[in-house]
Chain A
Amino acid sequence: MSDVEAGRSGAPPLVVMEHITKRFPGVVANDDVSLELREREVHALVGENGAGKSTLMRVLYGMYSPDGGRILVRGQEVKSSSPRVAISLGIGMVHQHFVLVDPFTVTENVILGDENERVLDMDAAHERVGELAQKYGFVVNPRAVVEDLSVGEEQRVEILKVLYRGVDVLIMDEPTAVLTPAEAKELFANLRQLREAGKSIVFISHKLDEVLEIADRITVLRRGKVVGETTPARTSKAQLAEMMVGRPVLFRLEKPDVEIGETVLQLDELHGEGKLNGLSLEVHSGEILGVAGVEGNGQRELAEAVIGLRRPSGGRVVLNGTDITGEHVQAIRNLGVGYIPEDRHEQGLVLNMTLWENAVLGQHDDEPYSSRWGVLSLRTIKELASRLVQLFDVRARSIDVTAGTLSGGNQQKLILARELETDPKLLVASQPTRGLDVGAIEFVWRQILEQKAAGRAVLLISAELDEIYALSDRIVTVYEGRITGEYPPDAPPEEVGRGMLGDVAAEVT
């Protein structure tokens, strides 16, 4: 560690985790993991889902007690473990899923559980919270009610909650998973300011670009073990990915050369609920059309209008020459449309049902899976599920476990397997790799490219420009429910970025 700046290496490390081992029945989640956190640093902890990042941090935060190893904070060994002890030692955690009381104000949420007086002096509390926010450059109104806040603002409230308790170490579990790119930028600015103010931050992520941007040091975990420690200057995205996954990962896949054919999907002047404002586009067979845009510009409504979950108030949805506007989901599916929803827990899987029950969803009322009398054929359904699980390498103990026990990547594989099983003529893929780690992203991308190779049409909706560029044959940008530009796959990102922000670009053909 000689290359660390001299000024920083002089101080003793703030937190030392030595040889931490944490076992769960049948799993070693952390296997002899050691980690050092210094003052004023952003320390990224990267690894695939299930690599043990969150477990390690929960050990540090006192939620789990380790089976082996020890933790030193400012040179003192920590004996007992509980979040209360952790906070008193200056260690706080911002969880991936927010735990805020929606009808409360920002201040009420921040002081919740830490109110010192019986009768609350709210004005003073507002002032304290306002000062705290100002000190670290957080743009948030202490008197605002949480339910009116954006996701990015809610996250700031979560961070303020932790800071209010006077911590020096902030553990952030996948903080950008729920943020738009712009919100992520703002978060990074906040984190830098916190670092300047003397805080140390543990940043758990599997988004490598972000890690390289924000981290001072990076520790990579794979299957519960530390596989390396590095700094952004000494490594690269490809190298980090290889460390995480254990094999080289391709970030650019070969696009199959397929002749682009007839129009499969045509959207004419779609309107709806103020979210779609005259959106028109076409997707052809053998083509992947990438719809780029900042989230919340009508992408969700667009996807739902195509699959039939939402009836547009105006305009037409035409599939292979047939007007399907306002048809029922089942009818549209039967015409050959597959759907990968942006939220796999809300629109993809039923988490407390088994893999086989999920595998047949959408086909469950077709022969041979259910009879004319409405009796399910468990045998054929389970055969289908076993085949899909094997084909798409869904890692599960059995098809009888519930879908909720799978990791995000395996859940997405299951959805892909199910949606592609019917050989759809059109695949609507909405944020198909959200929350997935690099290995799984590569898998999903390959599958989408395979659809193209088979001459099918793909409507790819993504907020990740990387993904749009990696897959699309043609790119359109969506802004406030309208298409603002069309670009070839080699258009400069700045140009596409302008379209995403609403500048109507010159039509490129």
Chain B
Amino acid sequence: MATVAAPVEKVRPPWVSNLGGQLFSVLLAFVVALFIGALIIIGYGENPLTVYGTLVRFAFKDVDSFGYVLQIATPLIFSALAIAVCFKGGLFNIGVEGQYLVGMLTASWAALTFDFLPGPLLMWTALLFAMLGGMIWAAIPAVLKVKTGAHEVVTTIMLNGIAVNLLGWALNGPLKYRQEGGQVAARTANFKDNALVPDLGHLFGMRESVHLSWLLPLGFVAAAIVWFVIRRMRLGYEARAVGSTPGSARAGGISVGAVQIKLFMLSGALAGLIGMQQLLADKGYLPVNFVSQLGFTGIAVAFLGQNNPVGIVAASVVWGVLSRGESALQLETDVPREFVIILQGILILSVMVIYQITRRRLARRQLQAAAVVEQVPEAA
């Protein structure tokens, strides 16, 4: 047999070889989004530079401001990672929302029930139960999908609704806070101090009202773990195969259902941690007016970060900058605060469009390069 070796040239995988191109396209997307945003600002009779200046100043003017930004970004990292993990396997886990709500419920229960645990053990127990709660809530759509074929988008939307009401019930029932003297409030009792995630902000001289906690580094660790699982582990390999060509994956001996369940479990565990910023860092109890919707915001952040762990961390910070600037706009300019939401939407759209364009260009270039090699004459 002719064993003429094709000219083996060092080619890095597509996601690395085009790193420069990717950075460029992200920057381009930003410029486009800011430009379109500027047109809207001008429509309001404001100067775009002033408005953007206000946004940036509010995020970076001092260490406290940036602390607030990171505080907003922390839960979004977990949320977007939870979305991305499922997305890699071709699953759309809209239920991250419900999974994190249930995670807050189970974590609260654990923090109040196991309050005899000493030192940081209580905190770790609460975090563990948060992940367990998310996993339980993710297991339902996962099993339904694998066993009956029920589509995860439908089942998770339903479960989100159930989760909201489950929390409402718990706050009015088993977890209801009964103060001495018969006064009741729709919230849980305060957790003990050793249930809380230690503060990180004071190390950087941030004010006490900034609740930057060790959850942020935990988010970085989670991102690194997700990267490792997707790129270096069998589960991630199988997930990517299942996500893009289920038939080939199955013919290669991969159990599609088992992979899907594992991904949902990982996603649910990450989702469970979303609520910990407000539960164990911001508040120290579960209030009835808990912050929801973070699971849905995670979808947007995951898109903005192109489902890439590093991209997600960056996108979460960007999201934090914009969200932080929301109230500043209202205070200092005539542009309504909703402008930020519009800008976020434009940003996602332009990232997606420009990313698609560069990806197609890359694919075309690869095909052409491949064609050259195939035309190498055969060995005589």
Which residues in A have some Cβ–Cβ distance to B below 8 Å? 24-27, 29, 49-50, 223-224, 246-247, 307, 309, 328-330, 333, 339, 341, 343, 345-354, 357, 361-362, 364-365, 370, 374-376, 378, 386, 389-391, 393-398, 400-402, 404-407, 410
* B49 adjacent to chain A (CB < 8 Å): no
In the assembled complex, the Cα of A232 lies from the Cα of B369 at a distance in Å of 35
Contact B241 A402 (CB under 8 A): no
Task: List chain A residues, Cβ under 8 A from B363.
Answer: 404-405
In the assembled complex, the Cα of A341 lies from the Cα of B249 at a distance in Å of 12
**How does the 8 Å CB contact mask read for B5-44 relative to A, with 1 for contact and 0 for none?**
1111111111000000000000000000000000000000
Contact B370 A361 (CB under 8 A): no
Contact B253 A328 (CB under 8 A): yes
Contact A397 B11 (CB under 8 A): yes
* B1 adjacent to chain A (CB < 8 Å): yes
Contact B240 A400 (CB under 8 A): no
Contact B371 A24 (CB under 8 A): yes
Q: Quick one: which of B200-255 are within 8 Å of A by CB?
A: 232-235, 237-238, 240-241, 244-245, 247-255
Nearest CB to that of A332 among chain B residues?
B253
Contact B234 A400 (CB under 8 A): no
Supply 23 A–B pairs (Cβ within 8 Å), ascending by A.
A26-B368, A27-B368, A27-B375, A329-B252, A345-B248, A347-B248, A348-B248, A350-B244, A353-B244, A362-B251, A364-B237, A376-B234, A393-B6, A395-B373, A396-B6, A397-B9, A397-B11, A397-B373, A398-B10, A400-B14, A405-B366, A405-B367, A410-B374
Contact B368 A407 (CB under 8 A): no
Contact A350 B245 (CB under 8 A): yes
In the assembled complex, the Cα of A402 lies from the Cα of B240 at a distance in Å of 13
In the assembled complex, the Cα of A247 lies from the Cα of B2 at a distance in Å of 13
Contact A330 B245 (CB under 8 A): no
Tell me whether A223 and B248 are in contact in the complex, defined as CB-CB below 8 angstroms, given that A365-B234, A374-B235, A405-B370 are known contacts. Answer: no
Contact B237 A393 (CB under 8 A): no
Interface of A is mostly: loop
Contact B373 A396 (CB under 8 A): yes
In the assembled complex, the Cα of A146 lies from the Cα of B368 at a distance in Å of 35
Contact of A398 among B9, B237, B378 (CB under 8 A): B9
Contact A354 B232 (CB under 8 A): no
Nearest CB to that of A351 among chain B residues?
B245
Contact A50 B8 (CB under 8 A): no
Contact B374 A350 (CB under 8 A): no
* B365 adjacent to chain A (CB < 8 Å): yes
Tell me whether A361 and B248 are in contact in the complex, defined as CB-CB below 8 angstroms, given that A50-B371, A328-B255 are known contacts. Answer: yes
In the assembled complex, the Cα of A309 lies from the Cα of B235 at a distance in Å of 20
Contact A25 B233 (CB under 8 A): no
In the assembled complex, the Cα of A352 lies from the Cα of B368 at a distance in Å of 16
Nearest CB to that of A371 among chain B residues?
B234
Contact A350 B249 (CB under 8 A): yes
Nearest CB to that of B241 among chain A residues?
A350
Contact A347 B247 (CB under 8 A): yes
Task: List chain B residues, Cβ under 8 A from A26.
Answer: 368-369, 371-372
